[in-house]
Each structure stands twice: as structure tokens, then as C-alpha cells.
């Protein structure tokens, strides 16, 4: 047996440890919520999860999953097109299509799978795909997986002049597609969808919007970043996850024209070659959408909490990045600083994640707070004050 590869991995891990960038998994001994039980630490306030609406452990969603688990069993034991389609999958897809105002929707085992299975299936020779430079890794990988004769371009983050120049340059292509996150997860800012829609109309382009961090968070009724801009009916293809605000467990989807979803059923590799969502998750997804639509006040409360948290941080001179989403990053400088501060906050019972290079640019390491409907104002205030106190102490 050759040890060369294992030796190299061990050396790389050692180097990461030395650089302070080694990721260690933290073990949670119970459900996700505003407070969690963290192994070795006890109860802490969680400001790192995507559980924006407090749905991850919502009794009605858990019950919907439980009932489906008992009725349909644990696994489809198949991909969708062989024997992995149960009526709950079709019900969820009808719900997702109605929610987004699209003709159809198709579910995947994750949004990662949806994004990596979308572009290769629908893009043909000469088609142009233009992607925001800060798009999620799954969009990047999905676009990279297209055939060699598909033209791929990257435009500067939310830079409409750059996007327009690239659309103009490819005006004669068979089709143009603009691909963007709704909420950018490291910055907490949102794509200028009103301007993107205007450019798409001017240059006859399709819009693909991955609103994984926007669904349930943005817009008056939580329909996402497109609702925020009043352009729901101008988005051609939505992708998203069931595993963030919807709290359904896992799962992702593509919602759009039937010609797209039917093509995905024919050709999309994660759909053809990977298990269907478990029925329990599909049923949980439908219940989450139902609750979201029945309780827009949860969304409004979340938005108010996030806005108040930004104001509080500013009052504490912490200078959060501007934005309208529930992702509130505070830049602290060096990667090691972000990691040290996250560790010190955890010692004070506040769980927030530090992100450094290469996830974000060098010198822009940050703590990323994620606000949830589940948080009390006291919890948010305590977190802001704790960070302010630590920064004051380290400035001395």
C-alpha cells in the first residue's frame, strides 16, 4: 500500500491547523433553535443557522414528516423515474409551482443537486450563461458541468454595466441566461433584480434565480427576493432549498416552465441517477410552504428583528455590511481574528461563525450573524454587546 497520498493529506491538514483555518465539526445534542445544546459547551444561543423562520423544529412540520414516514416508509429506494415518485412528491411540486407562480416544479435531494443538474441538461451549443462572480458554489459547479460548446461568462458582482456589456457581446447567440443568487450568503446583500429584469428584457435573456437564502426571508410575504422587487412573474427559473427557512429537512427544487422541468426529468443527471426525496421530507416541505403562506407575520417579524439588529450593531460601532436580508456580516479583518473572536463568543455562550480567506477576500474576514424569527430581542442584544465588548478589550 502506498502512503504518499495519505502523507500529503496529513501534511495539508497539519498546515491548515497551523494557519488556524482547520474546520472542526461541532456536535449538537438536540434540535436546532434559537438555543441549542452544544456538546462540551452546554446551552448556547445559535446565530449561525439558516433556520430563519424557526421552522426546523416546528411541531406541525415535524408531525407532517412523522405522519408521512409512517404512511410511506423511510425510503423511495429508487430514483424518481424508476419507482421513486410518490403522490407526496407530486403534491410538493404542485405547491412549489403555485408558490412561485410557475408552470411546474421539480424536486431534488438538495438544491446542490438541483443546481448541478440544471444547466448541463438545458443548455445547448452556443447558448450563453452569464453568472454573478459571487454566486453559490453549486451554481458555479453546475455551469462548469455544461458541454464545451456552451459559452460561460462571469460578470462582476451585481455590476449591471459589466452584465450589459456581456449581454451585448453575445446578442447573436441562440439564447442568453443570467444566473444569480437572490441573497448572497457571505455578504447578506441582494441581487438588483429590478435592473436584471430590465436587462433581460432588453437583450432577450432568461433569468435563473437561486433564492435559497431569500425564500421565506425576503418580500412582504416571504416569496423571496423577486417579491421584494415586485418581479416574481419576470423570473424564468427559480431554484431553491427546502433546508433553510423552510426547515423541511433537506431537498431542493427547480420551478419554471414545464418545458424545463420535463427536460430535467429526461436529462438531468442528479435526477436520473440519485435517490428521490424521502416522502417524510416531501410532506414536511408542503407543510412548511403552507405555514409560510398562512403566517406572513413571521416573515415581517424576522425582517424587523434583522433590521433592528443592524441598527444595534451600528449603535455599538460595529459597522455591519449594509443589506436587507437576515444575513448580517461584521468585518473584523484578518482570518485569525475572525476565528479567535468566534471562539471567544462561543465561550460566552454565543455561537456565530467566522469566515476568512479563501471563502472571503483577504483582510475581509468576518463574523456572520444569521437572524431568526426564533431569536428574542434579548438574545440578539446580548450577542451584539458581547462582540462589542470583545473588540474593545482586544483594541486595548
Catalytic site residue from 100, 170, 228, 244 = 244
Q: Is residue 239 within 8 Å of 254, Cβ to Cβ?
A: yes
Count, residues near ligand PLP per rule CB under 6 A: 14
Judged by CB under 6 A, which stretch of 6-14, 108-116, 168-176, 229-237 contacts ligand PLP?
108-116
Catalytic position from the list 48, 110, 185, 268: 185
- Assess 210 for contact with ligand PLP (CB under 6 A): yes
Q: Name which of 281 and 341 has its Cβ closer to ligand PLP.
A: 281
- In the list 107, 110, 158, 353, the residue contacting ligand PLP (rule: CB under 6 A) is 110
Among 48, 86, 212, 280, binds ligand PLP (CB under 6 A): 212
157 is catalytic: no
Is residue 252 close enough to count as binding ligand PLP by CB under 6 A? yes
Binding flag, residue 288, ligand PLP (CB under 6 A): no
Among 107-115, 199-207, 225-233, 331-339, the segment contacting ligand PLP (CB under 6 A): 107-115
Catalytic pick among 213, 287, 305, 375: 213
Q: C-beta of 389: minimal distance to ligand PLP in Å?
A: 31
49 forms part of the interface with ligand PLP (CB under 6 A): no
Nearer to ligand PLP, 110 or 120 (CB): 110
- Is residue 244 part of the annotated active site? The answer reads yes
Asked about 185 being catalytic, the answer comes back as yes
Residues 144-183 that bind ligand PLP (CB under 6 A): 181
> What residues are labeled active site?
185, 213, 244
Q: Applying CB under 6 A, which residues contact ligand PLP? A: 110-112, 115, 136, 138, 181, 185, 210, 212-213, 241, 243, 252
Amino acid at each position: 500500500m502506498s502512503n504518499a497520498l495519505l502523507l500529503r493529506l496529513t501534511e495539508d491538514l497539519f498546515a491548515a491547523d497551523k494557519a488556524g483555518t482547520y474546520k472542526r465539526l461541532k456536535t449538537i445534542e438536540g434540535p436546532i433553535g434559537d438555543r441549542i445544546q452544544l456538546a462540551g459547551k452546554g446551552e448556547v444561543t445559535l446565530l449561525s443557522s439558516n433556520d430563519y423562520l424557526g421552522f426546523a423544529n416546528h411541531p406541525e412540520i415535524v408531525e407532517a414528516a412523522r405522519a408521512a414516514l409512517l404512511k410511506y416508509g423511510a425510503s423511495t429506494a429508487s430514483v424518481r423515474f424508476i419507482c421513486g415518485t410518490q403522490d407526496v412528491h407530486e403534491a410538493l411540486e404542485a405547491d412549489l409551482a403555485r408558490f412561485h407562480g410557475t408552470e411546474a416544479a421539480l424536486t431534488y435531494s438538495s438544491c446542490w443537486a438541483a443546481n448541478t443538474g440544471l444547466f448541463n441538461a438545458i443548455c445547448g451549443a452556443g447558448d450563453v450563461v452569464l453568472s454573478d462572480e459571487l454566486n453559490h458554489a453549486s451554481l458555479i459547479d453546475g455551469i462548469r458541468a455544461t458541454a464545451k460548446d456552451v459559452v460561460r461568462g462571469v460578470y462582476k458582482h451585481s455590476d449591471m454595466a459589466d452584465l450589459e456589456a456581456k449581454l451585448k457581446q453575445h446578442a447573436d447567440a441562440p439564447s442568453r441566461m443570467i444566473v444569480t443568487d437572490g441573497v448572497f450568503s457571505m455578504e447578506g446583500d441582494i441581487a438588483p433584480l429590478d435592473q436584471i429584469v430590465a436587462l433581460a428584457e432588453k437583450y432577450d435573456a432568461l433569468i435563473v434565480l437561486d433564492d435559497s437564502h431569500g425564500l421565506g426571508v425576503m418580500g412582504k410575504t416571504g416569496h423571496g427576493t423577486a417579491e421584494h422587487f415586485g418581479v416574481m412573474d419576470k423570473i424564468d427559473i427559480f431554484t431553491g432549498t427546502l433546508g433553510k427557512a423552510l426547515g423541511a429537512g433537506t431537498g431542493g427544487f427547480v420551478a419554471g416552465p414545464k418545458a424545463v422541468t420535463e427536460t430535467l426529468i429526461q436529462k438531468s443527471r442528479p435526477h436520473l441517477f440519485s435517490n428521490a426525496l424521502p416522502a417524510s421530507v416531501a410532506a414536511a416541505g408542503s407543510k412548511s410552504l403552507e405555514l409560510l403562506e398562512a403566517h406572513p407575520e413571521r416573515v415581517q417579524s424576522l425582517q424587523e428583528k434583522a433590521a433592528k439588529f443592524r441598527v444595534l450593531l451600528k449603535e455599538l460601532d460595529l459597522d455591519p455590511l449594509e443589506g436587507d436580508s437576515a444575513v448580517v456580516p461584521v468585518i473584523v479583518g484578518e482570518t485569525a481574528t475572525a476565528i479567535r473572536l468566534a471562539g471567544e463568543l462561543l465561550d460566552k455562550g454565543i455561537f456565530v461563525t467566522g469566515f476568512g480567506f479563501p471563502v472571503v477576500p483577504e483582510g475581509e474576514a468576518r463574523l456572520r450573524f444569521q437572524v431568526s424569527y426564533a431569536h428574542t430581542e434579548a438574545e440578539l442584544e446580548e450577542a451584539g454587546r458581547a462582540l462589542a465588548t470583545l473588540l474593545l478589550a482586544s483594541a486595548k
